[in-house]
Amino acid sequence: MKENRDLILWYLIKEFTKHCSRTGNKVGKKFLQKVVYLLQRKGLNLNYNFSIHYYGPYSSQLEYDIHRLEMNRLVRIDPKDGYTHEIIPEEVSDDEKYLSHHDIEMIDSKEIKDLIKNLSSFNASELELIATVDYVINQLKIRGTDELNKKEIIEKVKRLKGNKYTEKKIEEAIKFLEENGFVKIEG
């Protein structure tokens, strides 16, 4: 799975880079952490474990795999301003043939392709909010909160993020998650 996971990750970086070139967004480390988290939530199981971090859901395993892709020359990590990084896939056509039929079917399902396209329209900060809201909702469910309401979710996100996002932005993130089948929220 490890080698296939690296190839799937490389393939996802290629797909996001292609779609982001149309939206003007960049595929960086934070961006990739959030989209992989959300793709896993929709069933693309790459076996990454995520925990909450300053910028939302984060996987140290994913961070390690990104750097392994760079060491294997499948991607180039371009530091932009000393603070952000852009991850650029290298063209390595031979590696695509090593993706199994199952891997390709998993990635190329209509639901995953549509989600990749939708997520590409958001920048890293917007994805941070969407992924954090989803993470909060899932933690509430795990703790046995059956009926989720927007007010409680907004309070929990505000507690994590402070004033970084307005209530309206948090509501928009909830709406995106509802419209894309991640969650169902009561009033």
pLDDT value, residue 98: 58
Structure tokens at 53: 């971090």
The two beta strands, 51-53 and 85-89, are: unpaired
Model's pTM, two decimal places? 0.90
Summarised one tens digit per residue, pLDDT across range 59-81 is: 999 999 999 999 988 899 998 76
What sign results for the dihedral spanned by CA atoms 70, 73, 79, 84?
negative
**Length of the chain (residues):** 187
> Picking from 43-52, 73-82, 125-134, 166-175, which range would have the lowest pLDDT averaged per residue?
73-82
**Antiparallel, parallel or unpaired: β 75-79 and 56-58:** unpaired
pLDDT number for residue 85:
83
Whole-number Å distance between alpha carbons of 105 and 108 = 5
* 177 against 82, higher pLDDT: 177
Torsions phi, psi for 78 (to 5 deg): -105, 110
Cα-Cα-Cα-Cα dihedral sign, residues 14, 18, 19, 23: positive
Task: Say what the pLDDT of residue 178 is.
Answer: 94
Output the CA–CA distances (angstroms, integers) from residue 186 to 1, 144, 145, 155, 167, in the order listed: 38, 15, 12, 15, 17
Q: Which two tokens stand for residue 59?
A: 């996987």
